[in-house]
Amino acid sequence: MTAPALTDRRTTRTTAASGLPSRVAVLLIGALPVLVVVAAMRPVADPDTFWHIHTGQFLWQSHQFSGPDPWSRFSSLPWVLHEWLPELGLAGLFQLGGFAAVAWAQAVLDTALLVVAYLCARRHANPLVSAITALIAFLGLTGSLAARPQLVTFALTAVVVSVWIRTAEDGRPRWWLVGLGWVWACCHGMWFVGVLVGAATVVALALERRHSPRQLARLAAVPALSLVAAAATPAGPRLLLVPFQISGFTVYVDEWRSPTVHDVFFVAVLVMAVLTAACWALSTRRVPLTLVVLWCAGLGWALVYGRTVAVGAMTLVPVLAASAARLLGEDTPARMPRPERRLVLAGLVLAACVGAAVTPALGSGTGPLVPGGLSPALAQLPARTVVFNEYGTGGWLMLTQPDLDPVVDERTEIYTTQYMTAYTDALMARAGWQDTVERSGATVAVLRKEQPLSSALRADGWQVVGTDGEFAMFSAPRR
C-alpha cells in the first residue's frame, strides 16, 4: 500500500518542477539564441580561422590530406589535415561571402553550442535545470568561441557524454557512436575525447559490476571500433599520432597555458563542478560511479589547459543535469514535447536570420588581432619576400598575402622544437636573435609595437614603414 503513495509524491514533485518555472525556462532558451547571435556578431579575428580557410582552399584544389607542407619554406615535419571537414566548409563560406560570411557562421555556430548544451542537459533533467546548466556551460565556452573546427569537439563532447550516461543506465551499446567517431576524427584533433569517454564509462561499469562480462565486452567494442574508425579517415592511420605531435608544442602557444581564477570561463566550469558535487551531497540516492568518473574527467579538462576548459564545460553539462535530476527525485525525462522542440529550433533559425541581417554591417574587415591595415603595403612587396612575423599573424598572411613567406604560422606541429625555440628567443630579443633573423632571410617584419624584437630591430637600423593599431611593419636596412 506504500508504493502508490511514494509514486504519487514523486509525480507531484515532477509536475511542480515542470510547471511555470519550466515554461519560463523553455521560453528563455528559445529567445536566447537571438540575443546571443547579435552579441556574437563581430569581425573575424581569431588567428587560427585564417589558416583553416586557407587549408580548405588547398584541399578543394588538391585533395591532398597529408604530406610535405605546401606553403612554408621553414617547416620540417609532415603535415596531416586532421580537421579537413570543417575547413572545407569555411573555405566554401569564404568563397561565397568573404570574411562577412565567415563572421555570420561564427556567430551562428556559437549560438548553436548553447542549444546543444540545452538539448543534452534536457535528456536528463527538466527544462529549468537544463536552461540553467546550458547558460553556465555557455559561460565556460566563452574563452574558446571562434570560427574553428574545435567547435565540433565542444558540441560532440556533450552529445557523447550524454549518450554514455544513458548507456550506463540501460546497458545498450549505441553502435552509431562509431560512425560519429569517424566524423569527429575528420573534424578536429581532439576526436579522442569520445573514445576516452566511452572507455572510462566501461571501466566504471566494470568496477560497479552492474552488467555481465558479455555486456561489458559489447560496450567496450564501441570505443575500440571508434579508434579503428579514426584510423580509417582520409588522413590515414597517421591521424592517431597527431595528438602526441601537438602535445610537444603546447609551451609555444598561449591558449595551451593553464587557466586561472581570473578567467571567467574557467570559474564557470568550477561552478558547474561544485554544483554537481553539491547535488550528490544533498541527495540520499547513491551516486553512480559513471557520473563520478565523468565529473573527474570534466574537471580535469578544465584544470589542465585554457584551451580545454570548454571541453570540461561540455563534459559537465549532462553530468550536472543528471545529478540535479537525481536530487529532485525525477526519473529520466521522456522525449521532449513537440512544442518545446519547435520553439528551440525556431529560436536557432531566427538567430541565423537575424545574424544574416546584421552581417553586412560588419563589412569585409578583420578584427584587431591581425594588421589588416597593412595589407596594401604588404601587397606591394615582391613575391617570395620573407616576412619575420608575429606568431598570430602567420595564417592571416598565408590567406591574404599568399605570395609572401612568413617565417612561422599557427600550425606549430610542422616546425621542429629547435626552430620554435629559436623563433621565440628572437621575439624576446634574447642573445642570438640577429642570427635567427639573418638566417631566415627576412627583409620585412610585421610585429607588435611592444614586442622586444621591435625595439631591437629599430636599434639595428630597421625602419618603420607602416603601422596599424598595435602592429608595425619594418623594413631591413641596406647593408
pLDDT of res. 7: 37
Is residue 12 in a domain?
Answer: no
pLDDT reported for residue 19: 61
Which class for 365: exposed (0-12), middle (13-18), buried (19 or more C-beta within 10 A)?
Answer: middle
Whether the pLDDT of residue 9 is over 90: the answer is no
Report which of 412, 345, 411 is spatially closest to residue 115, judged by C-alpha positions. 345
CA 241 to chain centre: 20
Percent of the chain with pLDDT strictly greater than 90: 69
d(CA 111, CA 259): 24
Residue 59 and residue 174 in one domain? yes
Give the ranges where 330-403 is alpha helix by DSSP (H). Answer: 338-358, 375-379, 394-400
pLDDT for res 17: 43
Say if residue 353 is in the same domain as residue 377: no
pLDDT in tens, 279-326: 999 999 999 999 999 999 999 999 999 889 999 999 999 999 999 999
Cα–Cα distance measured from residue 403 to residue 405, given in angstroms and rounded to the nearest whole number: 7
3-state DSSP assignment of residue 308: coil
> In a 3-state reduction of DSSP, which class is residue 193?
helix
Residue 5, pLDDT above cutoff 70 = no
d(CA 24, CA 294): 30
Q: Is 32 helix (H, G, I), strand (E, B) or coil?
A: helix
The answer to the question of residue 265 being in a domain is yes
Amino acid at 326: R
How much is the average pLDDT of 249-263?
77
Task: Please tell me the predicted confidence (pLDDT) of residue 435.
Answer: 97
Let me know if residue 8 belongs to a domain. no
Together in a domain, 376 and 352: no
The residue count for the chain? 479
- Is 443 part of a structural domain of the chain? yes
Q: In 3-state terms, what secondary structure has residue 336?
A: coil
Same domain, 376 and 348: no
Grid look-up 647593408 returns 479
184-243 per-position pLDDT tens digit: 999 999 999 999 999 999 999 999 988 899 999 999 999 999 999 999 999 888 888 877
333 and 230 housed in the same domain: yes
Q: Which helix (H) or strand (E) holds 102?
A: helix 84-122
Does residue 95 sit in the same domain as residue 183? yes
Domain of 158? 18-358
| Mean pLDDT (whole number) for 164-184 | 96
Q: Are residues 288 and 385 in the same domain?
A: no
Q: Which residues fall within 8 angstroms of residue 135, CB to CB, at 6 or more apart?
A: 32, 114
DSSP H helices in 359-415: 375-379, 394-400
**Which of 219 and 348 is assigned the larger pLDDT?**
219
pLDDT given at position 247: 61
Boundary of a domain, candidates 327, 358, 389: 358
CA distance 366 to 359: 13
User: Rounded to whole angstroms, how far apart are CA atoms 181 and 194?
Assistant: 7
Asked if residues 292 and 201 have their Cβ atoms less than 8 Å apart, the reply is no
Residue 3 falls inside a structural domain:
no
Does residue 130 sit within a domain?
yes
**Does 418 reside within a domain?**
yes
> Is the pLDDT at 14 greater than 80, yes or no?
no
* Residue 351: pLDDT over 80: yes
* CA 12 to each of CA 17, 22, 416, 419: distance values in angstroms, whole numbers, following the listed order: 9, 15, 64, 66
Does 323 lie in the same domain as 204? yes
In this structure, the answer to whether residues 336 and 411 fall within a common structural domain is no
348 and 378 part of one domain: no
* Bridge partners of residue 66, in order along the sequence: 80
Residue 2 has pLDDT above 60, yes or no: no
Taking 90 as the threshold, does the pLDDT of residue 363 lie above it?
A: no
User: And the C-alpha cell for 344?
Assistant: 528551440
Which pairing describes strands 471-475 and 386-389: parallel, antiparallel, or unpaired?
A: unpaired
3-state secondary structure of 387: strand
Measured distance CA(133)–CA(121) in Å, rounded: 7
Lowest mean pLDDT among 248-262, 273-287, 376-390, 459-473: 248-262
Core vs surface per residue 74-105: b (16+ CB within 10 A) or e: bbebebbbbbbbbbbbbbbbbeebebbbbbbb
pLDDT (0 to 100) of residue 10: 40
Q: Which residue has the cell 559490476?
A: 209
Q: Determine the residue type at 72.
A: S
C-alpha cell belonging to residue 18: 515542470
Q: Does residue 95 register a pLDDT over 60?
A: yes
Angle, vertex CA 62, rays to CA 190 and CA 241, nearest 5: 30
Could you identify the residue written with the cell 557524454?
A: 161
C-alpha cell at 206: 566494470
- Segment 102-153, tens digit of pLDDT: 999 999 999 999 999 999 999 999 999 999 999 999 999 999 999 999 999 9
Mean pLDDT of the chain: 90
pLDDT in the model for residue 252: 64
Which element (helix H / strand E) includes 46? none
Pair 114, 233 in one domain: yes
Q: Which secondary-structure segment (H or E) carries 467?
A: strand 463-468
Domain boundary among 336, 358, 380: 358
Element of type H or E holding 472: strand 471-475
Residues 337 and 392 in one domain: no
- Kindly report the three-state secondary structure assignment for every residue of 152-176: HHHHHHHHHHHHHHHHHHHCCCCCH
Among the candidates 358, 381, 411, a domain finishes at: 358
Total domains, the chain: 2
What residue has cell string 564545460? 313
Query: What pLDDT sits at residue 341?
Result: 86
Residue 1: inside a domain: no
Which of 363, 287, 372 is CA-nearest to residue 324?
287
User: What gap in Å lies between CA 375 and CA 124, rounded to an integer?
Assistant: 51
Helices first, then strands: H and E counts in the chain: 19, 7
Q: How far apart are CA 400 and CA 381, in angstroms?
A: 13
* Mean pLDDT along residues 20-34: 79
Residue 5 CB partners (closer than 8 Å, separation 6+) = none
Q: How far apart are CA 337 and CA 210, in angstroms?
A: 31
What are the distances in angstroms from CA 358 to CA 41, 269, 346, 352? Answer: 8, 31, 18, 10
- Per-residue pLDDT, averaged over 436-465, amounts to 96
The mean pLDDT of 329-336, rounded to a whole number, is 76
Low-confidence winner among 24-33, 42-51, 385-394 (lowest mean pLDDT)? 24-33
pTM of the model: 0.90
Of the chain, the percentage scoring pLDDT greater than 70 comes to 92
